[in-house]
Structure 1
Amino acid sequence: MPTSKYFDQCPPFPSGVHTVPLPKVSFEELQNGSEKESQLLFQACQEWGFFLLNLQPSSKGNELLKHAEQMFDLTNETYNLEQSVLDSYAYKPPHDLTGYKRKGQLKTDDGKMDCIELYSINQDDMLGNRSARKNADTIEAKRADVRQFIENSHSIIGMPPRTVQGVRWILMLADVIFSHLDKQLGLQPGTLSELSPLNEISETSVRLLRSQSQLSPQYDSISLGGHTDIGTITLLFNVVGGLQILPADRENELENWLYVKPEPGNVLVNIGDTLVEWTGGLLRSSLHRVITAPGEQALVARQSVAYLVRPRNNASMQRLKSGTIPPVEQGEEDETRSVIEWAAWRAKQVMLGQLKSQTRGGRSAVAA
């Protein structure tokens, strides 16, 4: 989550609502190679597919929090533009998901339309891996800030440096997480990081999201329907509540969804479908959604910033091999498509209603 600046601007998260008992993992301890924190991270990725990563008191963690605050400032500036200006940068699904999406373009679980606006910023555009595209002026003016946010989110000092095409990248937040997953999964060091490098084409993006405030609190208004993320991991910075997770052992009914409480100084991390495929279902990608924020928080606009990490487009979706990851069983077909081919197929299946969004992989956790 960003620094206290934005938490101080909204009502507190209310007590008395059912929340997910997510583990809180120390980023500083992960940087220091703590086996205890490494195992806690791995357990969370199996049981919930989500965990809170405490970026304090790490100096580089605090630096990232400040960069996230800049992205919240950018979100404000972008959504203060005229609607006609935003519409001129409209995304073009399913082939191009970069740019602006109006609210009311996606169906939610109850058959109504979504209430979330989003602006997706392509990582390769910001890093110069492909020809620059024209974004809204607010984003064009802050290209350097967006790039810094990406580099700090992906690749934080505290782990050994690696060389990519002659450039020494210091392992940052996503890479620290990947390094511990490598260890717990029995993979060679650097395996997951090398599948999602900063210098190769991918569909990784920074997403600026906003849903409007309500005239009165409504606990059953779905802003964004239940879904899983298709990539490897997502880093979510948010202040106002509304995000919910459906525990794997519960039916998709209103009373079974649990809120995620935003915590100052923390970023919310969740596992995506790609990691479930690569690990033969060892890790969990959990069904989650966004509804109107609880209590008085419903009266303020809900903004969040997500960094959605996707592998390089030409990487294979074939299951990874280690002594921990279950092998492909006899008679079971291993995936042979590339990341970009598999993601396009999966997105099409969901859009056609032939593939239901649901929690996948992992093992059971007892919800409080």
Structure 2
Amino acid sequence: MPTSRYFDPCPPFPKDVPVLEIPQISFQQLQNGNHETTVSMFEACREYGFFLLDLIHSDEGATLLQDAEKMFELTTETFALGSETLEKHAYDPPRDLTGYKATGKLKTDDGKQDLMEMYGINQDDIVGNVSPRKNAEPIESRRNDIKQFILHSHTVIKTIQYRLDEQLGVSPGTLGSLNPLDETSDTSVRILRSHQQPAQQESSITLGGHTDFGTMTLLFNVLGGLQVLPAGRCAIVNVGDTTVEWTGGLLRSSLHRVIRAPGEQGSVPRQSVAYLVRARRNASMSRLKGGIIPPLGEGEQDETRSVRDWEAWRAMQIISGQLKPQTRGGNPILPKQRLE
């Protein structure tokens, strides 16, 4: 496997820790339009909001794994600069999550400070939709590597969304058209690191419970702690809140958090790389029409805000404590909605 050199040095995952058995979906089969695989992915998006994406046996998948390995190298190089240097590129939430977030900026579920460092790299900056930003030096020196990771990740997400279109019964390309590469969005590559934690540490929560605001997330990680353990050839895919809104709650956005990696894995730093897909900024949050997507019910009002305004509003609600993140969606498909 292209990423085996990152998995091989890690302590083994404990055998006595329960692992969530979420479906493993072959990307090659999705590319080929395999109906059974497509249905399995759709049901995973409805029941769990997560699935493992097996990238082997696909040229595009193998390329993406190699890209991800370069992103892990970037993660190591970037965080080696230290927080004092990285703070010169600090992020400015909730409107702009591009840049560096030090540990301790967020509250965890138990009211303590988080233990996760992050650096968000804006897609528009890398692909040229906006004037270049000034990032930390390792990011500037690896702009082409990041661009390739974005291009290949976008291809994977577009394939997943195309197959979801089929299952939802909407026009081909509907979901993909809402997050194109050539229009401005808040899509980002996020590199993350948490330091090793003693087993007896008072709080084992590294990053508190949350759902992802965007459309979909593609995640690569090595150590446990997300309570979903991927194999070396897989990426984790999860559905975001925006997609839940667009589909009238048919798909699920699941609450998730990061805790101390279990067993001996907690003795080494935990790194991960995420491609967080957001819709184009001027896209509407209105529910999609057609197929099995339920129409608005009596008393329901369609969302009229743009994606960017809705996400900023939701972020402020969470920051102010007015809204508690929770699993959303996964509503049943009514018999009259099912496709023939």
TM (norm. structure 2) is 0.95
Asked if 1:125 is matched to 2:125, the reply is: yes
Q: Distance in 2 between matches of 1:272 and 1:2?
A: 28
Query: Does structure 1 retain, via aligned residues, the 8 Å contact 2:12–2:265?
Result: yes
Q: How many residues align?
A: 332
Asked if 1:347 is matched to 2:315, the reply is: yes
Find the counterpart in structure 1 of residue 74 from structure 2: 74
Any idea what the Cα deviations from partners look like across 1:218-252, whole Å, max 9, x if unmatched?
69610000000000000000000101xxxxxxxxx
Query: Does structure 2 retain, via aligned residues, the 8 Å contact 1:278–1:319?
Result: yes
203 and 192 in structure 1: CA distance in 2 versus 1, 3 angstrom threshold: same
Q: Distance in 2 between matches of 1:205 and 1:298?
A: 27
Q: Distance in 1 between matches of 2:169 and 2:144?
A: 37
Find the counterpart in structure 1 of residue 336 from structure 2: none
Find the counterpart in structure 1 of residue 23 from structure 2: 23
Find the counterpart in structure 1 of residue 283 from structure 2: 315
Q: Distance in 2 between matches of 1:82 and 1:4?
A: 27
Question: Secondary structure, in 3 states, of the residue corresponding to 1:88?
Answer: helix
Which amino acid in structure 1 is aligned with residue 205 of structure 2? I
Q: Distance in 2 between matches of 1:299 and 1:23?
A: 29
Alpha-carbon offset, residue 216 of structure 1: 3.6
Q: CA RMSD in A?
A: 1.4
Find the counterpart in structure 2 of residue 255 from structure 1: none
Q: Aligned runs of 1:1-368 on 2, under 5 Å? A: 3-154=3-154, 172-216=155-199, 221-243=204-226, 259-363=227-331
Find the counterpart in structure 2 of residue 251 from structure 1: none
Alpha-carbon offset, residue 262 of structure 1: 2.3
Q: Distance in 2 between matches of 1:112 and 1:82?
A: 22
Q: Distance in 2 between matches of 1:325 and 1:218?
A: 46
Question: Secondary structure, in 3 states, of the residue corresponding to 2:253?
Answer: coil
Q: Distance in 1 between matches of 2:83 and 2:320?
A: 30
After superposing on structure 2, the runs of 4+ consecutive aligned residues of structure 1 that deviate more than 6 Å are none
Query: Does structure 2 retain, via aligned residues, the 8 Å contact 1:178–1:193?
Result: yes
Which amino acid in structure 1 is aligned with residue 314 of structure 2? R
Any idea what the Cα deviations from partners look like across 1:103-153, whole Å, max 9, x if unmatched?
001000000000000000000000000011000010000000000000000
Query: Does structure 2 retain, via aligned residues, the 8 Å contact 1:219–1:294?
Result: no
Which amino acid in structure 1 is aligned with residue 34 of structure 2? S
Which amino acid in structure 2 is aligned with residue 58 of structure 1? S
Question: Secondary structure, in 3 states, of the residue corresponding to 2:61?
Answer: helix
Q: Distance in 1 between matches of 2:67 and 2:291?
A: 39
Q: Distance in 2 between matches of 1:220 and 1:20?
A: 22
Alpha-carbon offset, residue 57 of structure 1: 1.6
Alpha-carbon offset, residue 95 of structure 1: 2.4
Alpha-carbon offset, residue 96 of structure 1: 1.8
Question: Secondary structure, in 3 states, of the residue corresponding to 1:347?
Answer: helix
Q: Distance in 1 between matches of 2:56 and 2:89?
A: 36
Any idea what the Cα deviations from partners look like across 1:249-293, whole Å, max 9, x if unmatched?
xxxxxxxxxx21121100000000001100110000000000000
Q: Percent identity?
A: 61
Find the counterpart in structure 2 of residue 247 from structure 1: none
219 and 2 in structure 1: CA distance in 2 versus 1, 3 angstrom threshold: farther
Question: Secondary structure, in 3 states, of the residue corresponding to 1:30?
Answer: helix
Query: Does structure 1 retain, via aligned residues, the 8 Å contact 2:187–2:276?
Result: yes
Q: Distance in 1 between matches of 2:54 and 2:34?
A: 14
Alpha-carbon offset, residue 3 of structure 1: 1.3
Q: Distance in 1 between matches of 2:142 and 2:35?
A: 38
Give unpaired runs (5+ residues) of structure 1.
155-171, 244-258
Alpha-carbon offset, residue 82 of structure 1: 3.2
Q: Distance in 1 between matches of 2:11 and 2:304?
A: 49
Which amino acid in structure 1 is aligned with residue 262 of structure 2? P
TM (norm. structure 1) is 0.88
